[in-house]
Amino acid sequence: MKAISKRMRVWSLLSLGAVATALLLSLVMPFFSSPVMADEATKAATEAAPKVEMAKDIYFKTEGPVSGQPVPELKATDYPSYNLPYPLSENRILIWSIAQQHLYFGSFVLAVPIFCMIIELVGLLTKDPVMSKKYDDLAHLLVKISLTAYSVTAILGGLLLFSFITLYPDFFKYISSLFRPVMHIYALLFLAESGTLYLYYYGWDRMAHGFAKWVHACMGVLLNVFGSVLMMLANSWASFMMSPAGVDEKGRYLGNIWAVLHNALWNPLNVHRIIGNMVFGGGIVAAYAAYKFLAARNMEEKAYYDWMGYIAMFMAVGSLIPLPFAGYWLMREVYGFRQQMGITLMGGLLAWLFIIQAVLIGALFFSTNYYLFNGMERMRGAEKYQKYIKYILFLTTAAFLVWLTPHTLVMRPAELKAIGGQQHPVIGNFGVMSAKNGAVNTMIMTTIISFLLYQRSNKIITVKWEAWGNAALMAMFAVALVNNWWLAIYGYFIPANVRVGLSVPQVVGTLTTLFIGSAINIAMMRGSKLTGLIEWGKISVRSQYALFALAVSFTWLMALMGYIRSSVRLFWHVMEVFRDNSPWAFTHTIGFAANVMSMNVMAFWLFVLFVFWLGELTSKHAVAEARKEAARPVMAGGSE
């Protein structure tokens, strides 16, 4: 790749940034008309209309002119139906399924450009030309896969729109009356994103060198800017339904679109979704790589897809780490908006769904650890660390069992009588938050230990301070684990309001092991002797099923959490403003919801299989070169 000056890189970044800003500003400007014009408009309105009715914003508590119709009071007959057999007779099941598929594909096509942007940049910054090309080809392949998915997303989006118009006409009329300008901007952004995506993909080879390559990389940034703003606008519709703002108690628009957009849950939802998309996208790419690995006919292909699977897994799990914090923020804001919603989620009707979430998160930890254990097989010299696997597995399993133990047990009446209550005298103690915090932090730390061992599997450490380094690492983990368990036990003896604060030192301990532990480990590996290179492709078939397990757990988790977020509104289209008066306004049982989620998950993966197959039709030649290069062994740890 031809070297270019730093100045040109800066210019390319600045010019692309300016284009993005100008485009986005032009879309946002209509919201901020000049004060003079506003004054004139107000004056004219005052003269023309005898009196403007003022009302109070239900969330921001500010006064504003009533500028829209109140929410309609619907009857059961106002919901047109296709009279399909149960459960499709409920319009919401159709909407649920279509929206879920649209969100799955939407998440994938929003996540892949983020990965491409990162991988292309890593390729650009990698000095080794062979590795640089390898990363570049991987990024190119990922965009190719996402192109078909992009079309599917758009088609599903159209289907969702028509479904809303035909199945929930009054609701859609109301929502579109509020979000009218946002919807148009959304459509324009979609055009801009499509154009950028096609330029990004089709310009890949023509912009492969020198300054043009940097412009191309910046185009990846632009693509992500468009994608993220697009997603945020769509998020505002969902968050408005949960935490309405900018309207009065009758649902009448008060003339300030920013207030409608910037409702209580918008930003937490935005952050949570961006991170969630990355986790999900990583999971899909990992599954794709695993499937290709299993279908590979020669060692070159196996090596390439093994490497690809590792990178995707690494990105997915890496993105997973901040996700609980974003989730915590979202939940905190839910409680802040309506405590009753928080209670419905965590201690009421929907609380059992969080036990399912616990099982899914446990599956993610097990899959990741299992994959890393198997990954050690690629490296000679890893044997010395394999003896620790059983201890890691024991700790992870013990923590997982505590993590999924519910506070109250599912029992028959006779069992209930025998135990004397819904809480088991011994394991019932594991159902409380104190135990859960201890358990999840333990699982995270065992996974970190697995990763640190994986990093040093094929190396003999040569730094003089090896003994001190190892002692520091062991001491750090020992202190963090003991601190975590001690605080978990201590939490049983103090009031709940004080106990909540204990999670902070627990998380700090865990993050310390992650960041400081990784830093020490990397420092220790400097100048280390290799016992052997990573032999990509020489990994068990079972490990690829761990990647499948990771992907299907992510997909199910996304369906579950999406369901939880949406169903917390209970019998409201728009929380406490627009009541759902359809015959199916009740909340289904967990089992029913799980069945719909399962069908959605399976339908999605069949779709994905189709999309991958389509991509496969033309990609055979494109990756042939990359596969040859991928067969070359490299060092363990990080992305190489």
Partner 1 sequence: MTQGYLAVTILFSAIALFILGYNLPRVRGLLTAIGFYMVMTGIFASYSNWLPQTRGEVPPVIKMDIGAIDTMPTDKLSEMGETIIFGKVGGFAERGIGKGQCPLCHTFKKGDIGDRAPNLIGLGKRAAERIKDPKYIKADFVSTESFKGSGRATTAEEYIAESHACPACFVVEGFGTKGTNDRDSPMPVIHKPPIALSIEELIAVDTWLWYREGETPPSPKEIRAAYEKFIPEADRPKAAVPGTQAAAPPGPPIVLASDTPDQIVAKMGCFACHQIPGIALAKFGAIGPMLIEGYNAPRRIASAEYQARVKAGKAHAKTPKEYVMESIVDPNAFIVHQFAQKSNPLISPMIQDFATKFTYGGLEKIADYLLQQNCDTAKKDNLPGPPQENFATVCGGAAKAVSAP
DSSP structure string for 196-221:
HHHHHHHTTTTT-SHHHHHHHHHHHH
Q: What distance in Å separates the CA atoms of residue 39 and residue 50, rounded to the nearest whole number?
A: 17
Q: Any bridge partners for residue 529, and if so which?
A: 460
Contact between 329 and partner 1 per CB under 8 A: no
Residue of 359, 432, 433, 516 that binds partner 1 (CB under 8 A): 359
Tell me: does residue 607 bind partner 1 (CB under 8 A): no
3-class DSSP string for 255-304: CCHHHHHCCCCHHHHHHHHHHHHHHHHHHHHHHHHHHHHHHCCCHHHHHH
Q: Is 127 in the site for partner 1 (CB under 8 A)?
A: no
Q: What does the chain come to in residues?
A: 640
| Beta carbon nearer to partner 1, 70 or 469 | 70
58 is an interface residue for partner 1 by CB under 8 A: yes
Q: Tell which one of 545, 607, 634, 635 touches partner 1 (CB under 8 A).
A: 545
- Amino acid identity, position 298: N
Distances in Å between the Cα of 560 and the Cα atoms of 100, 236, 464 are: 10, 20, 50
Smaller CB separation from partner 1, 60 or 172: 60
Q: For tokens 């060198």, what's the residue?
A: 209
Cα separation, 237 vs 349, in Å, equals 24
Out of 552, 564, 626, 636, point to the residue binding partner 1 (CB under 8 A). Answer: 552
Contact flag: residue 354 with partner 1 (CB under 8 A): no
Is 433 buried (19+), middle (13-18) or exposed (0-12) by CB count in 10 A?
A: middle
Paired tokens of 23? 């485009």
Cβ proximity to partner 1, 221 vs 343, nearer residue: 343
Which residue number, 97 or 553, has a Cβ lying nearer to partner 1? 553
Q: Is 603 in the site for partner 1 (CB under 8 A)?
A: no
Give me 328's structure tokens: 């915590």
Q: Is 427 in the site for partner 1 (CB under 8 A)?
A: no
Distance CA 172, CA 10 (A): 45
Q: Which of residues 176-205 bind partner 1 (CB under 8 A)?
A: none
89 binds partner 1 (CB under 8 A): no
Q: Which stretch binds partner 1 (CB under 8 A): 148-156, 219-227, 447-455, 542-550?
A: 542-550
For partner 1, how many residues bind (rule: CB under 8 A)?
Answer: 57
Cβ atoms < 10 Å from Cβ of 265: 25
Which of 28, 295, 471, 482 contacts partner 1 by CB under 8 A? 295
- Answer for which of 390, 426, 591, 620 binds partner 1 (CB under 8 A) is 591
76 counts as binding partner 1 under rule CB under 8 A: no
Among 11, 60, 172, 607, binds partner 1 (CB under 8 A): 60
* Cβ 473 vs Cβ 512: under 8 Å: no
Contact by Cβ (8 Å): 634, 533? yes
Residue 207 token pair = 């912009």
Interactions with partner 1, residue window 484-513 (CB under 8 A) = 495, 497-498
Q: Check: CB of residue 307 under 8 Å from CB of residue 270.
A: no
Which range of residues in 226-234, 251-259, 373-381, 547-555 is near partner 1 by CB under 8 A? 547-555
The reply to whether 598 sits near partner 1 by the rule CB under 8 A is yes
78 binds partner 1 (CB under 8 A): no
For position 212 contacting partner 1 by CB under 8 A, the verdict is: no
Q: Which residues bind partner 1 (CB under 8 A)?
A: 58-61, 73, 249, 291, 294-295, 335-340, 343, 349, 352, 355-356, 359-360, 363, 410, 495, 497-498, 545, 548-549, 552-553, 556, 570-571, 576, 579-581, 585-595, 597-599, 601-602, 605, 609
